[in-house]
Chains A and B, each alone.
Chain A
Amino acid sequence: MVALTVALIAQAWPSIARFGARFLWTARWDVNKQLFGGLTSIYGTLATTLIAMVIAVPLALVIALLLVELAHPLVSRIVGTAIELLAAIPSIIFGMWGAFVLVPLMQNHVQPAIQRTPLGKLPLFTGPPFGIGVLTAGLILFLMVLPFITAVSRDVLRMVPQVVKEAGYGMGSTTWEVTRRISLRYGLSGIVGAVFLGLGRAVGETMAVAYVIGSSHRFRISWFEPGYTIASNLANEFAEAGSSLHRSAMVELALILFAMTIVFQLLAYAWLRRVRSHTGGRA
């Protein structure tokens, strides 16, 4: 870990010294003029992650609820296994599916449909429907982080002591009321931990995003336009970077991404530990 950090900082230093903090809000990425700014990649990373998390968190929570409280144990095991297998599918396969199945679908149906609704007036949904871009990448990321958040939330909900729940049922509550007023509150810090774990996954996903993001360095606010994320930028350009400054700028991006994931992970485990300390279970 220490070696990793030192190596990244050492390699990124020329770029940090040359561009300073401007790197964070400059979108210009011009290999010929040797000017580099990370804004497009950073925006893309945050936007795709936001889309993925906004959809994945509520869905993961209700699936976890289904697995722990609602479904028959046997059904719960089958559904649980299926969701776990979704997590086992490699990133590159998601990419193939995304590029050849999801992109045409987005291009021909989903994106035109969104533009016909009043949402189409928002700057986020303008531009020609190419199928590729930030929104499509966000949707694939959603499928990829869903199993992780589900698995952790399921473990958290399972740790809620049976007695507490039974007390709720004894008062005549319905399953949903017990979940909302008792289990969710009891496991809140664990669920926050699960969200941060999912965040850590989403920001660093590489190949699936590289297939559908569109690989463009021009900064555009719209989610229908091609863009870049830090990880997909690294995957596409790193090996071909001609100059040492170009490569150094890429390592600086890697460093930013690394810092983000470390922060998310540490927050996740801090919250998960809180849950463990007041239930005595192992998260």
Chain B
Amino acid sequence: MSSLEGVPQRSRGRRKLGDRLVRVIAWAAASVGIGAMVWIIVEVVRRGAGAWNWDFFSKMPTAAGAPGGGILNAIVGTLLITGIAALMGIPAGFFAGVYLAEYGRNGRVASTIRLIGNVMMGVPSIIVGVFAYAVVVAPMGHFSAFAGGVALAIIMLPVMARTSEDILNLVPNELRESALAMGASRWRATLGVVVRAARSGLLTAGILAVVRVSGETAPLLLTVLNNNFWSSDIGRPMANMTVTIYQYANTPYADLQQKAWGASLLIIVGVLGANLLVRLIMQRGKEW
């Protein structure tokens, strides 16, 4: 110690104190994040569980304010709209991912596509809604479930492309090389060997893409609107859960507000459940 006399230095005690202080702050910050998550989930479960009964899932809505009824049309509508989106977004995203991982690799075209994909993932969903309005709703002249499907598919596309690329990159190169050495053509090696080896991962990618859009509301407000009645015509406005939540929450009726919480609970169970499922599949997939 004495040899360093004259050199300005903080005492060891103060340095250790600073270190401990940061540790406490870090734990406090993490508690804020985790606490908020737990709080939100607890509130949704507490307020939403009361809405869950057989009618909630199996009946149509009653007139505003009249008790009873359910949100069957909204549940079916959400499934339909998400289904339309998945039919368009998942295959397109999958092939984009195959291109990036197997053909484009590190070339300039692939890097540009990758950057555009990353930027697209950050574009707010409401902007995608405005776009879908401009290219589907405006030319058709009315709001429709199909337009909502297009909006959600645009959101899914980069998510699907990115995850499938990551997963295909995990497939060992030896597999590709052996397939090619056996005389398989490039596309057979890709689809028959590489994709097959990665299928559980690709399934996860699909689930992730669907989960990503299942809670989306903003683009639907601009494309599908909502519908109080039964509709399975994808060329017309259709009931869906998220817009229903938003509209019910803005009514003064306690009964409808409770239904909004019930629908929120349904969404959160789906989203968090699927997320945990994906984690499980991924963990098993690490064995390669």
Contact = CB atoms under 8 A, between A and B. Distances in A.
A113 B135 CA distance: 49
B151 to A, nearest CB: 12
Contacts of B124: 203-206, 231, 257-258, 261
A208 to B, nearest CB: 10
Contacts of A59: 29, 32-33
Interface stretch (A23-31, A219-227, A234-242): A234-242
Contact of A234 (B47, B130, B216, B267): B130
A92 B242 contact: yes
Contact of B218 (A143, A207, A266): A207
B126 A66 contact: no
Contact of A269 (B118, B246, B275): B118
A201 B221 CA distance: 19
Nearest to B225: A239
Nearest to A205: B124
B43 A231 contact: no
A88 interface: yes
Interface stretch (B18-26, B96-104, B189-197): B18-26
Does more than half of chain B's interface fall in helix, strand or loop, or is it mixed? helix
Contacts of B115: 269
A99 B151 CA distance: 27
Interface stretch (B34-42, B60-68, B177-185): B34-42
Interface stretch (A118-126, A129-137, A161-169, A172-180): A172-180
A211 B36 contact: no
B87 interface: no
Contact of B30 (A66, A85, A201): A66
A101 interface: yes
Nearest to A231: B126
Measured as residues with beta carbon below 8 angstroms from the partner, the interface class of chain B is 35 or more
* Residue from B43, B122, B128, B257 whose CB has the most chain A CB atoms within 10 Å: B122
A97 B134 contact: no
Interface residues of A, number: 70
A275 interface: no
Interface stretch (A14-22, A36-44, A76-84): A76-84
A186 interface: no
Contacts, number: 207
B140 to A, nearest CB: 14
B205 to A, nearest CB: 16
Nearest to B265: A93
Interface in A225-274: 231, 234-235, 238-239, 250-251, 254, 257-258, 261-262, 264-266, 268-269
Interface of B: 15-16, 18-19, 22-23, 25-27, 29-30, 32-34, 36-37, 39-41, 43-44, 47, 115-116, 118-120, 122-131, 133-135, 138, 143, 211, 214-218, 221-222, 225, 242, 245-246, 249, 257, 260-261, 264, 267-268, 271-272, 275, 279
Contacts of A262: 119, 123
* Residue from B39, B115, B130, B225 whose CB has the most chain A CB atoms within 10 Å: B130
B31 to A, nearest CB: 9
A51 interface: no
Interface of A: 1, 3-4, 7-8, 10-11, 58-60, 62-63, 65-66, 70, 79, 81-83, 85-86, 88-97, 99-101, 143, 146-147, 150, 174-177, 179, 197, 200-201, 203-207, 210-211, 231, 234-235, 238-239, 250-251, 254, 257-258, 261-262, 264-266, 268-269
Nearest to A260: B124
Does more than half of chain A's interface fall in helix, strand or loop, or is it mixed? helix
A3 B47 contact: no
A95 B33 contact: no
B215 A63 contact: no
A63 B30 CA distance: 6
Contacts of B143: 239
A82 B22 contact: no
Contact of B33 (A90, A92, A146): A146
Contact of A239 (B25, B30, B221): B221
* Residue from A10, A63, A201, A251 whose CB has the most chain B CB atoms within 10 Å: A63
B109 to A, nearest CB: 15
A254 B30 contact: no
B29 A238 contact: no
Nearest to B38: A82
A212 to B, nearest CB: 11
B271 A90 contact: yes
Given A11-B138, A261-B124, 5 more contacts: A95-B246, A100-B47, A206-B124, A234-B126, A239-B143
20 contacts: A4-B131, A7-B131, A8-B127, A60-B29, A63-B26, A63-B30, A66-B29, A82-B34, A86-B37, A93-B44, A93-B267, A96-B261, A97-B40, A100-B257, A176-B23, A197-B122, A204-B125, A235-B126, A238-B133, A265-B122
B215 to A, nearest CB: 2
B30 to A, nearest CB: 5
Contacts of A231: 124, 126, 218
B43 A101 contact: yes
A261 B29 contact: no
